[in-house]
Amino acid sequence: MKNIGFIGTGVMGASMVRNLLKNGFNVSVYNRTKAKAEALKDDGAVVCDSIKECVKDKDAVITIIGYPKDIEEVYFSEYGILANVTQKSYLIDMTTSSPKLAEKIYEKAKEKGLQALDAPVSGGDIGAKNATLAIMVGGDKDAFDACRPLFEAMGKNIVHEGKAGAGQHVKMANQIVVAANTLGVCEAISYTKAMGIDPEIMLKTIETGAAASWQVSNNGPKMCKEDFAPGFFIKHFVKDMKIALDECRDKGIRLPVLEEVCAMYVDMENSSQGDLGTQAIIKKYSK
């Protein structure tokens, strides 16, 4: 496991590539916006002009891109991964995407004698930079074991969740908790402001108690400073929540908190705020 093709070098992907390089992997990169791939050249990455070039003769191919429609194109088009892999590579999709699509990739890969894993991540841009991502993996256990050195270069909490699609289902559960936590932080900040208490002091107080969470410690201070730069885009969070709600409808269950939070974020996306970070939801509480 030495030669890696990596497709998608955005906010998360670029840092993940750098950590793979630091751990001795040879990484070839491709991005539709070539400048984002070129930025990794000084780190030692080989910049490719096409998916075909990026996946040629690779031990593993990793993708972390935007939306399920992008994954469909990257994996299944005539110029995509499945049509152009030249050896028995492991295919690892680290995008947060549809569990059903993960199952489809797994089955189509299997038809070609390949092994595919769905391995979405949590931890945001900070986790990607610090190689502390939580990585939730679905697929065959032997493929997971073979790819573990790759995951260990990018994350800390690495768990085989079960069969194909299981990684995506666990990531949906993660996003459901994030949705509720984010709104809870907003309401705690709004409450303390109304009571004349410094919300930053409040956050430092509660971050080691029963209310402790990543949102409290990381996005809470950004909310207080009105720092809405994206560690994770609103538009991508909306995509995730809609996938989770689609899965809920398929199973005949309702998650009212998720529905409410999703509606609030959809409203922000519809008002041209989709490129802000998810912490910008605090704006919904501003007078």
Is residue 56 annotated as part of the catalytic site, yes or no? no
**In terms of residues, how long is the chain?**
287
Interatomic CA distance for residues 281 and 95, integer angstroms: 23
Q: Name the segment(s) of the chain with CATH classification 1.10.1040.10.
A: 169-285
Does the pTM surpass 0.75? The reply is yes
pLDDT at 86: 84
Superfamily of domain 3-163: NAD(P)-binding Rossmann-like Domain (3.40.50.720)
SS3 119: coil
Q: What is the mean pLDDT of each run of 10 residues along the chain (287 residues)?
A: 95 95 98 94 97 96 94 96 92 97 97 96 92 98 98 98 98 97 97 97 97 96 96 94 97 97 98 97 90
CATH class in words for 169-285: mainly alpha
Largest CA distance in the chain: 64
Other Cβ atoms within 10 Å of 221 Cβ, number: 18
pLDDT at 287: 63
Q: Name the segment(s) of the chain with CATH classification 3.40.50.720.
A: 3-163
Other Cβ atoms within 10 Å of 167 Cβ, number: 31
Interatomic CA distance for residues 169 and 45, integer angstroms: 32
Catalytic residue (choose from 104, 129, 171, 235):
171
* Element at 69 (helix H, strand E): helix 68-76
